[in-house]
Structure 1
Amino acid sequence: MAYNIYHNFQINASMQAVFNAVTQPEHLNNWWSLTSSGTPALNQIYNLNFTNSYNWFGKVCKVETNKSFYLKMTESDADWNPTTFGFDLFSTKLGTEVHFSHVNWPEENNHFKHSSFCWALLLNGLKNYLEKGIIIPFEERA
């Protein structure tokens, strides 16, 4: 059995702005990672660095410009390695509805529960980054 995390929320920004914020390293570093690299193209590798101990990699397994972006983790924490996370974007009158998922967790353990909570906080940080220009210092993020 696999366990999954889902978060749906509204961002008052264009689909292109949201897509760029979840795929472009210069934006990822403003709401999630300490440093990152990667290109939003199928089978490309992203490096997501949080500290020397958390220097992770994921492979783009689905991408449709301004609509969808998914990474399959390839080198990360043992609980994260079998997982895939991603974003589906939908245009609304107010901007963009984001459907976030992080699927195929092997266990519903403390790390799964903590990650679900952290994603909620980080995704709120993404929303505030795009809507208000707020960048939370890396040390203060979830």
Structure 2
Amino acid sequence: MSFNIYHNFQIKTAPKEVFNAISQPKHLDNWWTLKSSGKPELNSEYNLNFTDTYNWFCKVSKVKENESFYLKMTDSDKDWNPTTFGFDLEPNINGAMVKFSHINWPENNDHFKHSSFCWAMLLSGLKNYLEKSIVIPFKDRN
């Protein structure tokens, strides 16, 4: 049995802008990571650096420009390692419906629950970054 996190929300901007913000390191660093690297191409490796202790790696497991972007963890902590997270984007009259998932968690433990909360906060930061150009300093992101 595995456990999954899902968050759906509206962003008032074009799917192309959302895709760039979730797949390009220069944007990831403005709402999620301290510093990151990678290219939105199938099987490309991403480095997601949060601190020296949390310096994680993953690979692009699914990508369709302006429609979907998924990363499979390859080197992180034991709870995150078997997981894949990603975004599906659906255009609508108000911009983009974002359907986020983080799947295949091995346990419904405190780390899973904390990560679900953190994703909600970070995804709110993504929304504010795209809609209002707000960049929360890394040290203030939870």
- Distance in structure 2 (CA, Å) of the matches to 1:13 and 1:47: 27
Q: Name the residue aligned to 1:131.
A: 131
TM-score by length of 2: 1.00
Count of residues paired in the alignment: 142
Give 5+ residue unaligned stretches, structure 1: none
The CA deviation at 1:111 is 0.2
Q: Secondary structure at the match of 1:88?
A: strand
- Distance in structure 1 (CA, Å) of the matches to 2:3 and 2:28: 25
Q: Name the residue aligned to 1:86.
A: 86
Q: Name the residue aligned to 1:15.
A: 15
1:98 correspondence with 2:103:
no
- What is the letter of the counterpart of residue 36 of structure 2? S
CA-to-aligned-CA distance 1:8-41 (integer Å, 9 cap, x gap): 0000010000000000000000000000000000
- What is the letter of the counterpart of residue 34 of structure 1? L
- Distance in structure 2 (CA, Å) of the matches to 1:23 and 1:42: 12
- What is the letter of the counterpart of residue 49 of structure 2? N
Q: Name the residue aligned to 2:42.
A: 42
1:2 correspondence with 2:28:
no
Q: Secondary structure at the match of 1:51?
A: coil
- Distance in structure 1 (CA, Å) of the matches to 2:126 and 2:77: 23
Q: Name the residue aligned to 1:69.
A: 69
Q: Secondary structure at the match of 2:108?
A: coil
Matches within 5 A, 1:53-68: 53-68=53-68
The CA deviation at 1:47 is 0.2
- What is the letter of the counterpart of residue 129 of structure 1? Y
Structure 1 vs Structure 2: percent identity of aligned residues? Answer: 68
Q: Secondary structure at the match of 1:63?
A: strand
Give 5+ residue unaligned stretches, structure 2: none
- What is the letter of the counterpart of residue 2 of structure 1? S
TM-score by length of 1: 1.00
- Distance in structure 1 (CA, Å) of the matches to 2:39 and 2:85: 16
- Distance in structure 2 (CA, Å) of the matches to 1:12 and 1:66: 15
Q: Secondary structure at the match of 2:72?
A: strand
